[in-house]
């Protein structure tokens, strides 16, 4: 008898998971704490993305926050609230490889398109979740903030590696050392997000985009995402070789054949994600 979990997308305290057809909706759900992550919700988020990465029935992921905010970072205060159960020395160093340092690469590497819908506060690792999504729809008045230095500790979740590559060295220093806060509109100008809309339009706009992606050629989209991410640290020759392998794989898919047929027949393709 198989011991595999037939329903791996299980909601936990602080994280709601729902499957709607080919889309996995992930909702950070601690609105009273601005949807800050906890050990429980982060572990569940990692597990959900790991499961989604090998789920052939999924074609897109929607990541959002409940209420007025997306995510205010990790709840460090809550973790240390009880002095009788405070973590022992070295706890952060032990946790990072299996938490934030696993979550961020996983979000970038999963071969499904990820759409982030963000309103209100988008802080710390919350900002990194937005940045590492393939498309981020943000409220134009959202508040994007990396508060590490303001709180007396150093940046985490890959921000010192990712931000200079996205916004440049000077702007990365503004965000990480000077603690500059960006509006959602400014986040788009700086290249941290895809599109800024009114707060009441975020969910609709993100939903339309995720449905469009879920109707696309899933294998080709996933391989393109992988090429874009790995290409950031590869020489041109390696990137060209990777593109050749990706082309070989995608051209063997039923969606490739459907795309060619639709082109010949002068109609829109009907991709199945296969």
Q: What is the residue extent of each domain of the chain?
A: 15-214, 218-264
- Window from 15-29, 81-95, 141-155 with minimum mean pLDDT: 81-95
**Mean pLDDT taken over the chain:** 93
Residue 82: predicted pLDDT: 61
Residue 81 has pLDDT above 60, yes or no: no
Residue 2 has pLDDT above 60, yes or no: no
pLDDT (mean) for 63-75: 96
Per-residue pLDDT band for 94 (boundaries 50, 70, 90) equals confident
Per-residue pLDDT band for 76 (boundaries 50, 70, 90) equals confident
Q: Do 112 and 61 meet the contact criterion of CB atoms below 8 Å apart?
A: yes
- Window from 74-83, 170-179, 203-212, 240-249 with minimum mean pLDDT: 74-83
Q: pLDDT (tens digit, 9 = 90+) per residue, 31-60?
A: 999 999 999 999 999 999 999 999 999 999
CATH of segment(s) 15-214? 3.90.226.10
Q: Same CATH topology for 15-214 and 218-264?
A: no
Residue 4: predicted pLDDT: 47
Residue 84: predicted pLDDT: 65
Residue 200 has pLDDT above 90, yes or no: yes
In DSSP terms, 144 is beta-bridged to: 122, 182
Could you tell me whether strands 60-65 and 114-118 are parallel, antiparallel, or unpaired per DSSP bridges? parallel
What number of CA atoms fall less than 13 Å from residue 258's CA on the CB side? 16
Per-residue pLDDT band for 78 (boundaries 50, 70, 90) equals low
Alpha-carbon distance values, 115 to 92, 125, 131, 208, 264 (Å): 29, 16, 10, 10, 31
Alpha helices in the chain (DSSP H): 39-53, 76-79, 91-95, 100-109, 125-132, 159-167, 169-176, 184-189, 202-214, 218-230, 236-250, 254-264
218-264 carries CATH number 1.10.8: no
Q: pLDDT (tens digit, 9 = 90+) per residue, 122-178?
A: 999 999 999 999 999 999 999 999 999 998 989 999 999 999 999 999 999 999 999
Residue 92: predicted pLDDT: 76
Does the pTM surpass 0.95? The reply is no
Q: Do 196 and 206 meet the contact criterion of CB atoms below 8 Å apart?
A: no
In DSSP terms, 61 is beta-bridged to: 24, 114
Q: pLDDT (tens digit, 9 = 90+) per residue, 222-231?
A: 999 999 999 8
Separation of alpha carbons 98 and 120, rounded Å: 28
């Amino acid at each position: 008898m198989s011991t595999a979990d037939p329903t791996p997308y299980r909601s936990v305290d602080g994280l709601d998971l729902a499957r709607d057809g080919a889309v996995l909706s992930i909702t950070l759900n601690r609105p009273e704490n601005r949807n800050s992550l906890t050990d429980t919700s982060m572990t569940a988020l990692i597990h959900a993305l790991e499961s989604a990465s090998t789920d052939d029935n999924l074609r897109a992921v929607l990541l959002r926050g409940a209420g007025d905010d997306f995510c205010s970072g990790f709840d460090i205060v809550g973790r240390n609230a009880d002095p009788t159960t405070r973590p022992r020395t070295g706890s952060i160093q032990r946790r990072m490889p299996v938490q934030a340092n696993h979550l961020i690469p996983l979000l970038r590497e999963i071969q499904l398109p990820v759409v982030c819908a963000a309103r209100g506060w988008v802080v710390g690792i919350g900002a990194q979740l937005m940045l590492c999504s393939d498309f981020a729809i943000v409220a134009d008045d959202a508040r994007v903030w990396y508060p590490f230095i303001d709180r007396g500790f150093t940046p985490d979740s890959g921000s010192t590696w990712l931000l200079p590559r996205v916004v440049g060295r000077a702007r990365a220093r503004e965000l990480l050392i000077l603690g500059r806060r960006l509006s959602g509109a400014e986040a788009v100008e700086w290249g941290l997000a895809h599109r800024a809309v009114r707060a009441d339009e975020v969910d609709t706009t993100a939903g339309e985009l995720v449905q469009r992606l879920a109707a696309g050629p899933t294998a080709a989209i996933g391989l393109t995402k992988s090429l874009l991410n790995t290409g950031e640290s590869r020489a041109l020759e390696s990137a060209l070789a990777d593109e050749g392998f990706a082309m070989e794989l995608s051209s063997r898919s039923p969606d490739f054949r459907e795309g060619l047929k639709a082109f010949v027949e002068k109609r829109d393709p009907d991709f199945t994600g296969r």
